């Protein structure tokens, strides 16, 4: 217990080693993970969370990098969680990109953590959000969650931010179509990156057209243009984030958003725990035993589900 | 009860009205839905299920249409479930496309059902699979599940088929990247449609390159070319489906695939039912009550999840 306390204090002062270890603990669900999360929880809620998502190659990490530099110049501490197989932060890009990241990576007040998207997709959004909690408790003023917007899990992560930015490029017309459902709904605003390329204005137009189909609301998502590789547009992106933040602050939206997020988290925790309780070895064995009957049409999936639930109920009451 | 029996017999003889009503019953979770599914279950397992998925505009419904015509010429009865906002079957396309569908739509031995993807995303895959069960029990030899491959739910539907075909077009390089994770894994083979357009050969090459990263397995997914609007490639697609089917038949893969699918379904049924039981009004009220404490940092999401679970346990044992 004593060493645990010490680590907590070191997390709260932003000690890199302690923070890295804490994130590893939640990421790998090591012993003490829940105790840690419970202990840091009262220290969270101060960091502003920015979600940055979009198709691969849209320049999300270049924008993340530029924003981090800008916030550092304002004296803010920055945490970055990158869940993107194509992100330079997660090692997916070419050497040239990696080199460009170095100034941010070397800054002691920028903490970058990459999380693998492969293999652990199930609990990924939960873990990324818990990692953001650690950075929050560690005193980061800004936490950027960078994810590639392809799967539900990645969208969940970006959607768990206070402001969510969707980055597109002129060529992503096809992606816009494909990802309309998910991406359009979580975006607080859009950035059309690589806006020096042909088709930029048409792309902005078509995003705006799609936006017209969104439900009326007090906040109208904007579409900004940027050329992040040259640093063009970063100030406007940061200004729009700040604008959205003060919009949320004014109308109580931030508290509401965070409350909703916390409720969702409790619901997920409940489902996770129920699932673990439910699929104890006795129910796994029961399912295995019943599958032959289902395949031979002697029973149905509905009957087996009921039998399993009854078995669970009986065990609960003991 | 008597009228229920009568309906069942009419479903089994493939009566269109009875089949349509049965699908509406499961789609809208009307009274008697589970009783119906339980009753038809022993009559399922005879229809071969083909999943067709891919990005919007790839020509999935044209291919579906062509395949349906081909199977009808072989004297097979065909069911189609279209879950795709851009599909002509679901009314998402231009009038020109709709007209082309007419010959299949007018055939009494082709049953087409479109299901809305908006609004009901949660239970969509469950409902589409249940609708496929109805068509199966109604004597359709072939059931085609056409879905746009953008969300997890749609991928789940296509993945719940015996053979899953992923349709791409030369322009979908961006989409291939974006959807690599999901689409590549469920594809039993690929169709590059609109293969008369520029870039077709390069697209085939890049799909093949991505396929090289897949795990070794006895079945190697092929990449076919088609121009479905002209009927080019349909015979090859049907032949590859047949080839995959006999591959599955030979090595016992079909039984294994279906057993796995049925297990997944039981697991989903269990989760659904547990969730409904769990979120009874008393737990909803408890969560609402505890949220203030969570937001004021007097409690944590972890503690509230535990309190809710304990409350559930106590109610179970009564």
Read off the DSSP letter of residue A215.
P
pLDDT in tens, B271-291: 888 888 899 889 999 999 999
CB A23 within 8 A of CB B288: no
pLDDT in tens, B112-155: 998 875 544 456 788 899 999 999 999 999 999 998 766 666 67
Query: Best of A120, A181, A313 to disrupt the B interface by mutation (most B CBs within 10 Å)?
Result: A181
Question: If you search the block for the tokens 């906002």, which residue do you land on?
Answer: B85
What is the reported pLDDT for B151?
63
User: Which of B178, B278, B294 comes nearest A150 by C-beta?
Assistant: B178
What is the reported pLDDT for B21?
94
Residue B21, Cα to own-chain centre: how many angstroms?
20
Ramachandran sector of residue A199 (left: φ over 0; alpha: ψ -120 to 50; beta: rest): left
Residue A311 CB: number of other CB atoms within 10 A?
A: 16
- Nearest chain B alpha carbon to A297: B42
Q: Which among A130, A139, A177, A140 has a CA at the least distance from the CA of A23? A: A130
Residue B88: pLDDT band (50, 70, 90) is: low
Q: Which among B221, B289, B178 has a CA at the least distance from the CA of A177? A: B178
pTM of the predicted protein model: 0.76
Please determine, for residue B46, whether its predicted confidence score (pLDDT) is greater than 90. Answer: yes
Please determine, for residue B105, whether its predicted confidence score (pLDDT) is greater than 80. Answer: no
Strand ordering across the sheet containing B78-83: B110-114, B78-83, B142-148, B48-54, B163-168, B189-192, B223-225
- Whether the predicted interface score ipTM is above 0.90: no
In angstroms, the separation between the Cα of residue B242 and the nearest Cα of chain A is: 23
What is the reported pLDDT for A207?
83
CB B133 within 8 A of CB B37: yes
In angstroms, the separation between the Cα of residue B155 and the nearest Cα of chain A is: 11
CA A187 to CA A222: how far, in whole Å? 9
Three-class secondary structure of residue B163 per DSSP: strand
Residue A298 CB: number of other CB atoms within 10 A?
A: 11
Residue B58: pLDDT band (50, 70, 90) is: confident
Assign domain A45-249 to a CATH class.
Answer: alpha beta
User: In this complex, is the C-beta atom of B253 within 8 Å of any C-beta atom belonging to chain A?
Assistant: no
> Which ranges constitute the DSSP H helices of chain A?
2-12, 16-27, 33-40, 60-73, 95-106, 121-137, 152-159, 173-179, 185-186, 200-211, 234-250, 253-278, 281-295, 301-316
User: In this complex, is the C-beta atom of B273 within 8 Å of any C-beta atom belonging to chain A?
Assistant: yes
CB A86 within 8 A of CB A93: yes
CA A144 to CA A79: how far, in whole Å? 6
Question: If you search the block for the tokens 């296509």, which residue do you land on?
Answer: B158
Query: Would you say the C-alpha torsion A189, A190, A191, A196 has a positive or negative sign?
Result: negative
C-alpha distances out from residue B146 to A133, A282, B94, B161, B191, Å: 41, 38, 18, 10, 14
What is the reported pLDDT for A55?
78
Which residue would you say has higher pLDDT here, A22 or B99? Answer: A22
Phi, psi at A143, each rounded to 5°: -120, 125
- Nearest chain A alpha carbon to B84: A178
Query: Best of B300, B304, B307 to disrupt the A interface by mutation (most A CBs within 10 Å)?
Result: B300
What is the reported pLDDT for A1?
45
In angstroms, the separation between the Cα of residue A38 and the nearest Cα of chain B is: 6
**3-state SS, one letter per residue, for A147-203:** EECCCHHHHHHHHCCCEEEEEECHHHHHHHHHHHHHHHHHCCEEEECCCCCCCHHHH
pLDDT in tens, B143-185: 999 987 666 666 777 778 999 999 988 876 655 554 555 677 7
Which residues in chain A touch residue B179, judged by CB atoms under 8 angstroms apart? 150, 178
| CB–CB contact A179 B259 (8 Å) | no
**Those residues with Cβ within 8 angstroms of residue B131's Cβ, 6 or more apart along the chain or in another chain:** B23, B26, B27, B81, B113, B115
Question: Domain residues of chain A, as ranges?
Answer: 45-249, 279-316
Please determine, for residue B93, whether its predicted confidence score (pLDDT) is greater than 50. Answer: no
What is the reported pLDDT for B54?
84
What is the reported pLDDT for B101?
54
State the pairing for strand pair A189-192/A163-168. parallel
CB A159 within 8 A of CB A51: yes
| R_g (Cα) of chain A, nearest Å | 22
- Nearest chain B alpha carbon to A152: B152
As beta bridge partners, residue A167 has A191
CATH architecture of B44-251: 3-Layer(aba) Sandwich (3.40)
CA B55 to CA B207: how far, in whole Å? 14
What is the reported pLDDT for A271?
87
pLDDT in tens, B200-209: 998 898 888 7
Residue A240, Cα to own-chain centre: how many angstroms?
20
Positions of E strands within chain B: 48-54, 78-83, 110-114, 142-148, 163-168, 189-192, 223-225
Q: What token pair was written down for A200? A: 């930029």
Three-class secondary structure of residue A248 per DSSP: helix
A44-77: buried (b, 16+ CB within 10 Å) or exposed (e) per residue? beebbbbbbbbbbbbbbbbbbbbbbbbbbeeebb
How many A/B residue pairs have CB atoms within 8 Å? 144
| CB–CB contact B300 A265 (8 Å) | no
User: Which of B181, B269, B317 comes nearest A316 by C-beta?
Assistant: B317
Which portions of chain A are predicted below pLDDT 50?
A: 1-2, 92-99, 119-121, 178
pLDDT in tens, A235-257: 999 999 999 999 999 989 999 99
As beta bridge partners, residue A190 has A166, A223
| CB–CB contact A179 B178 (8 Å) | yes
Length of chain B measured in residues: 318
Q: What token pair was written down for B37? A: 């599914």
CA A184 to CA A225: how far, in whole Å? 17
Q: Which among A94, A86, A85 has a CA at the least distance from the CA of A124? A: A85
CA B209 to CA B83: how far, in whole Å? 29
Over pLDDT 90: what percentage of chain B? 53
Residue B3: pLDDT band (50, 70, 90) is: low
User: In this complex, is the C-beta atom of A2 within 8 Å of any C-beta atom belonging to chain B?
Assistant: no
User: In this complex, is the C-beta atom of A116 within 8 Å of any C-beta atom belonging to chain B?
Assistant: no
User: In this complex, is the C-beta atom of B58 within 8 Å of any C-beta atom belonging to chain A?
Assistant: no
Among the residue ranges A146-160, B80-94, B216-230, the one predicted with the least confidence is B80-94
Three-class secondary structure of residue A265 per DSSP: helix
| CB–CB contact B297 A265 (8 Å) | no
CA A113 to CA A133: how far, in whole Å? 13
C-alpha distances out from residue B313 to A313, B74, B243, B305, B306, Å: 8, 56, 51, 12, 10
């Amino acid at each position: 217990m004593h060493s645990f306390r010490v680590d907590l204090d070191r997390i709260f002062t932003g000690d890199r080693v302690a923070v890295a270890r804490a994130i590893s603990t939640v990421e790998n669900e090591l012993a003490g993970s829940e105790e840690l999360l419970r202990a840091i929880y009262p220290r969270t809620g101060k960091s502003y969370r920015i979600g940055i998502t979009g198709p691969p190659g849209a320049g999300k990490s270049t924008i993340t990098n530029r924003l981090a530099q800008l916030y550092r110049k304002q004296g803010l501490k920055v945490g970055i969680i990158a869940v993107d197989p194509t992100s330079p932060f997660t090692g997916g890009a070419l050497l040239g990109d990696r080199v460009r990241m170095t100034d941010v990576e070397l800054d002691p007040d920028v903490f970058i953590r990459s999380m693998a998207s492969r293999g652990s997709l199930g609990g990924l959004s939960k873990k990324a959000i818990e990692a953001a909690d650690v950075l929050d408790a560690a005193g980061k003023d800004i936490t950027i969650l960078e994810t590639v917007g392809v799967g539900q899990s990645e969208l969940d992560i970006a959607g768990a931010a206070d402001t969510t930015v969707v980055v597109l490029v002129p060529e992503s017309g096809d992606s816009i179509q494909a990802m309309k459902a998910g991406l359009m709904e979580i975006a607080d605003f859009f950035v059309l990156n690589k806006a020096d390329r042909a088709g930029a204005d048409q792309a902005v137009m078509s995003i705006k057209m799609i936006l017209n189909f969104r439900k009326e609301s007090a906040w109208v998502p904007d579409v900004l243009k940027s050329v992040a590789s040259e640093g063009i547009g970063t100030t406007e992106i940061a200004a729009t984030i700040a604008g959205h933040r003060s919009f949320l602050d004014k109308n109580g939206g931030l508290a509401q958003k965070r409350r909703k997020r916390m409720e969702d988290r409790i619901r997920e925790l409940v489902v996770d725990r129920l699932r673990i309780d439910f699929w104890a070895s006795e129910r796994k064995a029961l399912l295995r035993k019943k599958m032959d009957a289902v395949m031979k049409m002697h029973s149905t999936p509905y009957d087996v589900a009921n039998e399993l639930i009854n078995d669970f109920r009986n065990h609960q009451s003991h």
